[in-house]
């Protein structure tokens, strides 16, 4: 079923053969539970291996505990030390001007005002991390669909707003820098795809960008810090889009150092395209380029009762990487490699919100589920630790005002729901050397098929093969000829046919062959009911609620229902399965079962009738050693007056064995 094979060896050999003569010697891989290739260039001191942990402070205030790799709880400072020990060297923190209502209620989303950036920026600096400040110039989320100016700037003219943005940038940065935060880069705007701070012309955007940039330069000059200016956009997959943006900026002489992009593989195209579009900007305009946001899911589960962006049925098919911890590792390494492939101008990557885990772990099956969800909602509202609180409705009525709640990305964190780091957090360390010591596994899917007597065998041509890293594949299978010859579809039974995939993985197809229905009038479609023995007249053939066809066996009486219905057949030695389909209600604490009776034997299968068209399908499998008269049927004894229901689709077949 499992096969280990030499993909890793092959990958390592290829990179040796392809390495240019002048390149550094390949580093020694470290032992790890996951596969991470050496991302050449990621070991450079100036290569950004960053994370955006903006929501952290609000999570700590909500009572969330993060732990280190030994399971020890971490305080705020300890959390950033763990990041540093995991190979992370930069932290990105978003800042909203005034994410509060007039009464001081948080809009949520991490409650990221300047104070939060100061607190987390100091922890980061103490841990040796540099800091990217991501000014949205809004009071809440800014993205391509939303670029609303702060409340206080809503009525300003463009020139007044430009001055306000300049003053705000300078004073905010001086607060952070004088507070000891090692700001190394500032984003002037977030995902400003042709809109920014309530403006939507390139002339207005250029004026605002330049004002922000000049304020960053001034703050750097006043304090002696080395601070780069980044502009941030998204949709690298849109053909010609980044070339257009860079050209519009260049035409207006906008001063910036770094062209940054979001790149979520669910939506934003291939790594090859990313390298190409960023490379074009680096070469044409002499800019540095980086990924400011990316992420990947390790599970399709939800951890907090607020629906996730990536979930069963949503963004979960046709994926470039598996949904797994290994998939996260592969995604981060691939994305970093795509940036490094630009060359020296490719300066690194930030993973978006690796720590936005549940404030309380929510299990919908748990007896206290609703109490946990209520407690989480209270924390999202008071600490701002969900993506939006209800208080944000005054500023963002159509989105936050309707859909406010918890974390939609708890399954894309690099921590589990309980706050323990996943092995994927270590990718920022692993990419600098590559890893070794794990087994690359390939596992082929095992297939099952159901046939009726006399059908023709039709085995699948391909089965899915999953790997411990990389995307699954559908691969051709060679099925075992002897097993195929032994599969007799004229006899009820179970036949296992072995197969080998193209890459040598073992698979199998389990073929189940069921016999014909041995009962007469099994769906009550014929008026002749003489083959049935029914103990009460209120159980009879009617058109009420059939499971299939037009007729069924229906029962109802004003008093207590208590009846049996059965059909007797003579069967040769063999194994058989009896099933029927039923529904009904008003049973009180009564009992119902299907049964098989022969000689001194009675086999039963209890079931409950719990409501209209809530179908049940009790099933009994039994073996006869010689030809035997067998009665199969159903028994209902209600616990109160007025029980009702139907039985239909009785089947008695030779069973696969």
Please list the active-site residues: 191, 293
Region 255-294 residues binding Ca ion, contact defined as CB under 5 A: none
* Out of 331, 410, 445, 648, the residue judged to bind Ca ion by CB under 5 A: 410
Whichever of 302 and 331 has its CB closer to Ca ion, that residue is: 302
In angstroms, rounded to a whole number, what is the distance separating the alpha carbons of residues 524 and 548? Answer: 10
First to last CA, the chain: 23
* Residue 617, CB-side half-sphere exposure with 13 Å CA sphere: 8
In angstroms, rounded to a whole number, what is the distance separating the alpha carbons of residues 280 and 273? Answer: 11
| CA-wise closest residue to 323 among 301, 351, 303, 299 | 299
> Is 304 an interacting residue with respect to Ca ion (CB under 5 A)?
yes
| CA-wise closest residue to 89 among 50, 32, 124 | 50
Whichever of 334 and 407 has its CB closer to Ca ion, that residue is: 407
Contacts of 214 (CB under 8 A, 6+ apart): 166, 255
| CA-wise closest residue to 361 among 379, 343, 336 | 379
Whichever of 180 and 364 has its CB closer to Ca ion, that residue is: 364
Contacts of 108 (CB under 8 A, 6+ apart): 58, 99, 380, 381, 384, 385, 386, 387, 388, 389, 391, 392, 400, 404
Q: For 337-401, give the secondary structure using H, E and C.
A: HHHHCCCCCEEEEEEECCCCCCCCCCCCCCCCHHHHHHHHHHHHHHHCCCCECHHHHHCCCCCHH
Q: Which stretch binds Ca ion (CB under 5 A): 215-223, 366-374, 407-415, 572-580?
A: 407-415
Q: Which stretch binds Ca ion (CB under 5 A): 100-108, 210-218, 403-411, 599-607?
A: 403-411
In angstroms, rounded to a whole number, what is the distance separating the alpha carbons of residues 516 and 536? Answer: 30
286 Rama sector, left if φ>0, alpha if ψ -120 to 50, beta otherwise: left
Shortest Å, Cβ 381 to Ca ion: 16
Whichever of 62 and 122 has its CB closer to Ca ion, that residue is: 62
Shortest Å, Cβ 134 to Ca ion: 23
DSSP designation for 439: P
Whichever of 341 and 410 has its CB closer to Ca ion, that residue is: 410
Q: Which stretch binds Ca ion (CB under 5 A): 38-46, 298-306, 416-424, 429-437?
A: 298-306
Shortest Å, Cβ 303 to Ca ion: 6
> Is 649 an interacting residue with respect to Ca ion (CB under 5 A)?
no
Shortest Å, Cβ 309 to Ca ion: 9
Residue where the block lists tokens 């300890």? 78
Shortest Å, Cβ 410 to Ca ion: 4
Q: Which stretch binds Ca ion (CB under 5 A): 330-338, 399-407, 431-439, 454-462?
A: 399-407
Shortest Å, Cβ 255 to Ca ion: 40
Shortest Å, Cβ 399 to Ca ion: 17
For 265, the 3-state DSSP assignment is coil
Shortest Å, Cβ 92 to Ca ion: 22
Whichever of 373 and 630 has its CB closer to Ca ion, that residue is: 373
* Residue 58, CB-side half-sphere exposure with 13 Å CA sphere: 35
Burial bucket for residue 545 (CB in 10 Å: 0-12, 13-18, 19+): middle
In angstroms, rounded to a whole number, what is the distance separating the alpha carbons of residues 79 and 200? Answer: 39
Q: Which stretch binds Ca ion (CB under 5 A): 194-202, 402-410, 442-450, 610-618?
A: 402-410
Contact 490, 553 (CB under 8 A): no
Shortest Å, Cβ 360 to Ca ion: 11
Burial bucket for residue 424 (CB in 10 Å: 0-12, 13-18, 19+): buried
Region 487-516 residues binding Ca ion, contact defined as CB under 5 A: none
Whichever of 142 and 413 has its CB closer to Ca ion, that residue is: 413
Region 33-52 residues binding Ca ion, contact defined as CB under 5 A: none
What distances in angstroms separate CA 342 from CA 287, 288, 493, 539, one per listed residue?
A: 11, 10, 60, 78
Q: Which stretch binds Ca ion (CB under 5 A): 173-181, 297-305, 311-319, 628-636?
A: 297-305
* Out of 139, 210, 302, 445, the residue judged to bind Ca ion by CB under 5 A: 302
* Out of 136, 146, 306, 377, the residue judged to bind Ca ion by CB under 5 A: 306
Q: Which two tokens stand for residue 406?
A: 């918890």
Whichever of 390 and 577 has its CB closer to Ca ion, that residue is: 390
Count, residues near Ca ion per rule CB under 5 A: 6
> Is 416 an interacting residue with respect to Ca ion (CB under 5 A)?
no
Burial bucket for residue 419 (CB in 10 Å: 0-12, 13-18, 19+): buried
Shortest Å, Cβ 599 to Ca ion: 58
In angstroms, rounded to a whole number, what is the distance separating the alpha carbons of residues 539 and 42? Answer: 77
* Out of 169, 190, 271, 308, the residue judged to bind Ca ion by CB under 5 A: 308
Q: Which stretch binds Ca ion (CB under 5 A): 47-55, 306-314, 538-546, 606-614?
A: 306-314
Region 99-138 residues binding Ca ion, contact defined as CB under 5 A: none
Residues that bind Ca ion (CB under 5 A): 302, 304, 306, 308, 407, 410
């Amino acid at each position: 079923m499992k096969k280990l094979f030499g993909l890793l060896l092959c990958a390592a050999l290829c990179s040796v053969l392809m390495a240019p003569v002048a390149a550094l010697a390949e580093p020694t891989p470290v032992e790890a539970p996951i596969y991470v290739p050496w991302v050449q260039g990621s070991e450079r001191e100036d290569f950004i291996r960053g994370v955006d942990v903006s929501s952290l402070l609000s999570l700590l205030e909500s009572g969330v505990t993060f732990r280190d790799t030994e399971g020890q709880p971490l305080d705020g400072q300890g959390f950033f030390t763990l990041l540093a020990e995991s190979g992370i060297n930069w932290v990105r923190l978003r800042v909203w001007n005034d994410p509060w209502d007039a009464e001081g209620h948080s809009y949520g989303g991490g409650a990221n005002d300047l104070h939060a950036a100061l607190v987390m920026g100091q922890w980061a600096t103490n841990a040796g991390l540099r800091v990217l400040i991501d000014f949205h110039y809004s009071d809440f989320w800014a993205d391509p669909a939303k670029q609303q100016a702060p409340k206080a700037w809503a009525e300003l003219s463009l020139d007044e707003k430009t001055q306000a943005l300049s003053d705000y940038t300078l004073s905010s940065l001086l607060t952070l820098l004088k507070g000891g935060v090692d700001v190394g880069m500032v984003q002037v705007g977030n995902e400003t795809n042709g809109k920014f701070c309530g403006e939507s012309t390139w002339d207005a955007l250029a004026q605002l960008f330049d004002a922000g940039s000049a304020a960053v330069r001034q703050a750097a000059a006043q304090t002696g810090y080395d601070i780069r200016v980044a502009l941030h956009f998204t949709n690298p997959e849109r053909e010609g889009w980044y070339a257009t943006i860079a050209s519009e900026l260049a035409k207006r002489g906008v001063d910036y150092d770094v062209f940054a992009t979001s790149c979520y593989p669910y939506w934003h195209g291939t790594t090859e395209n990313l390298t190409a579009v960023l490379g074009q900007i680096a070469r044409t305009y002499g800019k540095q380029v980086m990924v400011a946001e990316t992420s990947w899911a390790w599970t399709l589960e939800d951890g907090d009762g607020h629906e996730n962006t990536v979930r069963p049925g949503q963004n979960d098919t046709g994926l470039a990487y598996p949904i797994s911890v290994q998939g996260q590792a592969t995604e981060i390494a691939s994305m970093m490699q795509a940036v490094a492939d630009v060359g020296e101008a490719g300066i690194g990557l930030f993973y978006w919100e690796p720590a936005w885990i549940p404030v309380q772990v929510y299990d919908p099956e748990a007896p206290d589920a609703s109490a946990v969800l209520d407690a989480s909602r209270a924390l999202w509202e008071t600490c701002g630790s969900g993506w939006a609180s209800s208080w944000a409705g005054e500023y963002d009525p159509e989105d936050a005002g309707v859909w406010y709640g918890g974390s939609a990305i708890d399954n894309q964190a690099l921590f589990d729901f309980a706050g323990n780091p996943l092995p994927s957090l270590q990718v920022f360390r692993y990419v600098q050397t590559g890893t070794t010591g794990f087994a690359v596994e390939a596992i082929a899917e095992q297939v099952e098929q159901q046939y009726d007597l006399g059908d023709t065998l039709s085995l699948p041509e391909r089965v899915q093969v999953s790997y411990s890293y990389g995307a699954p594949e559908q691969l051709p299978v060679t099925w075992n000829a002897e097993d195929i010859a032994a599969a007799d579809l004229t006899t009820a039974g179970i036949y296992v046919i072995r197969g080998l995939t193209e890459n040598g993985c073992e698979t199998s197809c389990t073929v189940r062959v069921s016999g014909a229905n041995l009962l007469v009038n099994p769906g009550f479609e014929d008026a002749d009911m003489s083959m049935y023995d029914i103990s009460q007249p209120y159980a009879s053939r009617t058109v009420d609620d059939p499971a299939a066809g037009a007729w069924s066996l229906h029962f109802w009486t004003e008093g207590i229902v208590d009846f049996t219905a059965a059909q007797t057949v003579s069967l040769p030695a063999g194994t058989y399965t009896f099933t029927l389909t039923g529904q009904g209600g008003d049973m009180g604490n009564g009992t119902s079962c299907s049964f098989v009776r022969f000689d001194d034997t009675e086999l039963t299968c209890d079931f409950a009738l719990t409501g209209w068209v809530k179908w049940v399908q009790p099933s009994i499998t039994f073996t006869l050693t010689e030809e035997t008269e067998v009665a199969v049927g159903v028994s209902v004894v209600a616990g109160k007056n007025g029980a009702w229901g139907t039985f239909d689709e009785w089947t008695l077949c030779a069973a696969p064995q």
